[in-house]
Structure 1
Amino acid sequence: MNKFFATAAAAAAAALFAGALSANATELRLSHQWSDKDVRHQVAQIVADEVAAAGVDLDIKIFPTESLFKAREQYTPLSRGQLDMTVLPLSYAGGQQPAYNLTLMPGLVKNHDHAARLSDSPFMTALEEKMAEDDVMVLVHGYLAGGFAAKDKCIRKPEDIAGLQTRAAGKSFEQMLAGAGASIASMASSEVYNAMQSGVLDAVNTSSSSFVSFRLYEQVACYTPAGEFALWFMYQPLLMNKSTFDGLSSEQQAALMAAAEKAEAFYLEEAKKEDAASVEAFRAANVEIAEMTQEDFDAWLALAKETSFKAFVEELPDGQALLDMALAVE
């Protein structure tokens, strides 16, 4: 009898230990830089909620507002398995993988539906192969549009930004704006408000979503939104460490992929709404709204081809091939 109880106790202890290991192994940490009102947080929350509802012993804990990692410091820990998931503007990691700079190339994306087609193209497959080299994979694809804003003037065409201290989100835009005569200050969108408030920045390029969630309408006089002519589209996916994903059970993987599919559909529809919503927010704050014309857009694109496009092709051995793949998406 004693032997039976000893065996039972040992089995119970082993089960408890295995359960503790399982519980530890199935909590995933997801980091991002935005507030819980931002669309990118909502995308992460959909994935977390859907996975929880699937009942597959998988818990995703979200750390918003840079509470776990700084905005530009998320890709490296993700690739090393120190972070499980992140929603990240991929061009932030352009220093590690220069090909990522193509995900914020001026004028490359025509509209939100075109962005969705880019996400489902050989161009994106090529980028995902580069991510795999870093042990990173995409769960949710998503592009956001954006525009310009400035403290003292409207920015419609290249000459409007000459002489201004300006922030852009990625290398390709910085190259184009420098070509227009701007001085460049590199920083995450989460740092822009303080930089404008303190006089470090005169102008900014960022997404419609960030313009609102970081309340930049409190710091600027004029806003040029993503309207009929949107120059600024940035790929901002939900990424996951590939080894972490591979280590999950098939049921957990299936739950994650189903959740990601639902989140991606939401992301696309919300991205389309964000541009108009940002205009309303700025208008309500009595900020002047400027519109870019076809002529303005063409002037920016001509400048981009001489600066950003040219530099990208020169920097990467496969730069021209990648650019051609992106341009081939109708």
Structure 2
Amino acid sequence: MKHFLTASVAAVALCASAETAAAAELRLSHQWSTGDVRHKVAQIVADEVAAADVDLEIKIFPSASLFKAREQYTPLSRGQLDMTVLPLSYAGGQQPAYNLTLMPGLVKNHDHAARLNESEFMGEIEDIMAGDDVMVLVHGYLAGGFAGKDSCITAPEDMQGKQTRAAGKAFEQMLAGAGASIASMASSEIYNAMQTGVLDAANTSSSSFVSYRIYEQVACYTPAGDYALWFMYQPLLMNKTTYDGLTDEQKAALQAASEKAQAFYLEEAKKEDAESAQVFADAGVEIAQMSAEDFDKWRALAQETSYKAFVEETPDGQKLLDLALSVE
């Protein structure tokens, strides 16, 4: 009888531990403030998963409070971090192929970006991630534009002789090819550099142009519209082993939440561009638009500069570039 009771207690304890194993807390890290669209994307996923009541909680650590901005991919791939919202090109040092996710002229507009997310090209990028034990939950691109202190910038010839700040190595290569001098700095330093005459022009994201009040220092702004050069892939990623360890119900809740967050991300990204143009216009800044002809000129220049360098530096670089360029 005693033996039977012991066995029963053990069985109950085993069931309890199985239930505990099914309940999980995931840690999600990112570098932005809680007002940023990328935090809102993470919050939608966390809230939707909580509402699904599947014993899964996502705890968000914003403003680089858990890991530094550029130091999140490695802990994610090692399982020391469960989830992150990250500009994938930050990990271009570990995986050179990721540099293609911040490449001038590769994405024309947000709808084109959405098609790219579903393409064979993105499938190849996701295969590389899988080798690092990383997977995508939410795809998303954010766009950016140009601002000129004294004149408008829409085509390569507008950059000749200008001192400019570019967002990313590939953009620096292309703008140098257009005859600009490059001053490397964080987007947070653009305002002072414009004010002190160090910069004549700048290239950054729509949200940075607004949050750093660049409209106080420039005469003309070229926002992302029907055509834009600067698109940066900034997905919500997850450690694959952690995901595989979830129950089927938890996985289903996470996928449903991610689908909702991705739709929100696309609409908000479009909105940010339009709102940035309005903010600059309200501040009395001239608004310029890039034409299809301008875009084609930039892409031709990128072929000779940024694309060429990428192919030379990256295993299977030409194949990946061709796949990306094949998406209409």
> Normalized against structure 2, the TM-score is what?
0.87
Offset from partner CA, 1:33-54 (integer Å, 9 cap, x none): 2222222111111101000101
User: Which of the numbers 76, 83, 86 marks the counterpart of 1:85?
Assistant: 83
1:239-278 superposed matches below 5 A: 239-278=237-276
- Unaligned segments of structure 2, at least 5 residues: none
- What corresponds to 2:147 in structure 1? 149
Deviation at 1:126, TM superposition (A): 0.4
Whether the aligned pair in 1 keeps the contact of 2:143 and 2:269 (CA below 8 Å) is yes
Distance 2:56 2:163 in 1: 45
Offset from partner CA, 1:110-166 (integer Å, 9 cap, x none): 221221111111111100010111111100011122111244543223243345554
User: Which of the numbers 312, 315, 320 marks the counterpart of 1:314?
Assistant: 312
Distance 2:141 2:294 in 1: 23
Larger CA deviation: 202-211 vs 262-271: 202-211
Relative to structure 1, is the Cα distance of residues 290 and 61 closer, same or farther in structure 2, using a 3 angstrom cutoff? same
Offset from partner CA, 1:78-132 (integer Å, 9 cap, x none): 1122221111111121111111111122111122122111111111110001011
Relative to structure 1, is the Cα distance of residues 222 and 123 closer, same or farther in structure 2, using a 3 angstrom cutoff? same
1:40 partner amino acid? R
Offset from partner CA, 1:52-79 (integer Å, 9 cap, x none): 1011121112222222222222212211
Distance 2:199 2:68 in 1: 20
Whether the aligned pair in 1 keeps the contact of 2:106 and 2:325 (CA below 8 Å) is yes
Offset from partner CA, 1:238-289 (integer Å, 9 cap, x none): 1111111112222211111110011111111222222111111222333332
Deviation at 1:234, TM superposition (A): 1.6
User: What do you get for the CA RMSD once the two structures are aligned?
Assistant: 3.0
- What corresponds to 1:136 in structure 2? 134
User: Which of the numbers 175, 182, 197 marks the counterpart of 2:192?
Assistant: 197
- What corresponds to 1:179 in structure 2? 177
Relative to structure 1, is the Cα distance of residues 10 and 223 closer, same or farther in structure 2, using a 3 angstrom cutoff? same
Whether the aligned pair in 1 keeps the contact of 2:187 and 2:204 (CA below 8 Å) is no
Deviation at 1:221, TM superposition (A): 4.2
Distance 1:244 1:85 in 2: 9
Offset from partner CA, 1:201-255 (integer Å, 9 cap, x none): 5543222233334444355443210123211222111111111111222221111
Relative to structure 1, is the Cα distance of residues 46 and 301 closer, same or farther in structure 2, using a 3 angstrom cutoff? same
- What corresponds to 2:301 in structure 1? 303
Whether the aligned pair in 2 keeps the contact of 1:47 and 1:260 (CA below 8 Å) is yes
Larger CA deviation: 216-225 vs 6-15: 6-15
Aligned residues: 325
Larger CA deviation: 221-230 vs 99-108: 221-230
Relative to structure 1, is the Cα distance of residues 28 and 213 closer, same or farther in structure 2, using a 3 angstrom cutoff? farther
Secondary structure at the aligned position of 1:304 is classed as helix
Are residues 1:226 and 2:224 paired? Answer: yes
Relative to structure 1, is the Cα distance of residues 21 and 229 closer, same or farther in structure 2, using a 3 angstrom cutoff? closer
Secondary structure at the aligned position of 1:71 is classed as coil
Relative to structure 1, is the Cα distance of residues 291 and 8 closer, same or farther in structure 2, using a 3 angstrom cutoff? same
2:261 partner amino acid? A
Distance 2:183 2:21 in 1: 46
Distance 2:137 2:47 in 1: 15
Distance 1:17 1:298 in 2: 60
Distance 1:299 1:164 in 2: 18
Relative to structure 1, is the Cα distance of residues 160 and 137 closer, same or farther in structure 2, using a 3 angstrom cutoff? same
Relative to structure 1, is the Cα distance of residues 5 and 78 closer, same or farther in structure 2, using a 3 angstrom cutoff? same
Relative to structure 1, is the Cα distance of residues 275 and 66 closer, same or farther in structure 2, using a 3 angstrom cutoff? same
Relative to structure 1, is the Cα distance of residues 86 and 202 closer, same or farther in structure 2, using a 3 angstrom cutoff? farther
Relative to structure 1, is the Cα distance of residues 203 and 86 closer, same or farther in structure 2, using a 3 angstrom cutoff? farther
2:303 partner amino acid? K
Whether the aligned pair in 2 keeps the contact of 1:157 and 1:297 (CA below 8 Å) is yes
Are residues 1:119 and 2:117 paired? Answer: yes
Whether the aligned pair in 1 keeps the contact of 2:190 and 2:202 (CA below 8 Å) is no
Secondary structure at the aligned position of 1:72 is classed as coil
Whether the aligned pair in 2 keeps the contact of 1:193 and 1:219 (CA below 8 Å) is no
The alignment-based identity, stated in percent, is: 75
Larger CA deviation: 285-294 vs 252-261: 285-294
Distance 1:56 1:239 in 2: 20
- What corresponds to 2:289 in structure 1? 291
> Normalized against structure 1, the TM-score is what?
0.86
- What corresponds to 2:34 in structure 1? 36
